[in-house]
Chains A and B, each alone.
Chain A
Amino acid sequence: GIQVEQSPPDLILQEGANSTLRCNFSDSVNNLQWFHQNPWGQLINLFYIPSGTKQNGRLSATTVATERYSLLYISSSQTTDSGVYFCAVVASKTSYDKVIFGPGTSLSVIP
Chain B
Amino acid sequence: NAGVMQNPRHLVRRRGQEARLRCSPMKGHSHVYWYRQLPEEGLKFMVYLQKENIIDESGMPKERFSAEFPKEGPSILRIQQVVRGDSAAYFCASSPNSRDTGELFFGEGSRLTVL
| Contacts from A to B (Cβ < 8 Å) | 30-31, 33, 35, 41-43, 45, 48, 84, 86, 88, 90, 96-104
Which of these, B42, B95, B102, contacts A101 with CB under 8 Å?
Answer: B42
Q: Which residues of A contact B45 (CB under 8 A)?
A: 98-101
Q: Do B102 and A41 touch across chains, with their CB atoms under 8 A apart?
A: no
Tell me if A's interface is mostly helix, strand, loop or mixed: strand
Most buried by A among B44, B45, B99, B109: B99
Would you give the 0/1 interface string for B81-115, flagging 1 where the beta carbon is closer than 8 Å to chain A?
00000000101010100011011111011010000
Distance of A90 Cα from B33 Cα, bound (Å)? 13
B48 at the A/B interface (Cβ < 8 Å)? yes
Q: Which residues of A contact B38 (CB under 8 A)?
A: none
Distance of A102 Cα from B45 Cα, bound (Å)? 11
Distance of A42 Cα from B43 Cα, bound (Å)? 12
Q: Closest CB of chain B to A99's CB: distance in Å?
A: 6
B12 at the A/B interface (Cβ < 8 Å)? no
Which of these, A43, A96, A103, A104, contacts B106 with CB under 8 Å?
Answer: A43
Q: Which residues of A contact B108 (CB under 8 A)?
A: 41-42
Q: Which residues of B contact A43 (CB under 8 A)?
A: 91, 106, 109
**A98-B45, A101-B43 as given contacts; A90 in contact with B56, CB under 8 Å:** no
Distance of A97 Cα from B48 Cα, bound (Å)? 8
Tell me if B's interface is mostly helix, strand, loop or mixed: strand
Distance of A69 Cα from B52 Cα, bound (Å)? 35
B11 at the A/B interface (Cβ < 8 Å)? no
Q: Do B102 and A98 touch across chains, with their CB atoms under 8 A apart?
A: no
Top 5 A-B pairs, shortest CB-CB distance = A43-B106, A48-B103, A101-B43, A97-B99, A103-B42
**A41-B109, A96-B55, A98-B48 as given contacts; A86 in contact with B103, CB under 8 Å:** no
B69 at the A/B interface (Cβ < 8 Å)? no
Q: Which residues of A contact B99 (CB under 8 A)?
A: 30-31, 90, 96-97
Q: Do B43 and A86 touch across chains, with their CB atoms under 8 A apart?
A: yes
Q: Closest CB of chain B to A2's CB: distance in Å?
A: 11
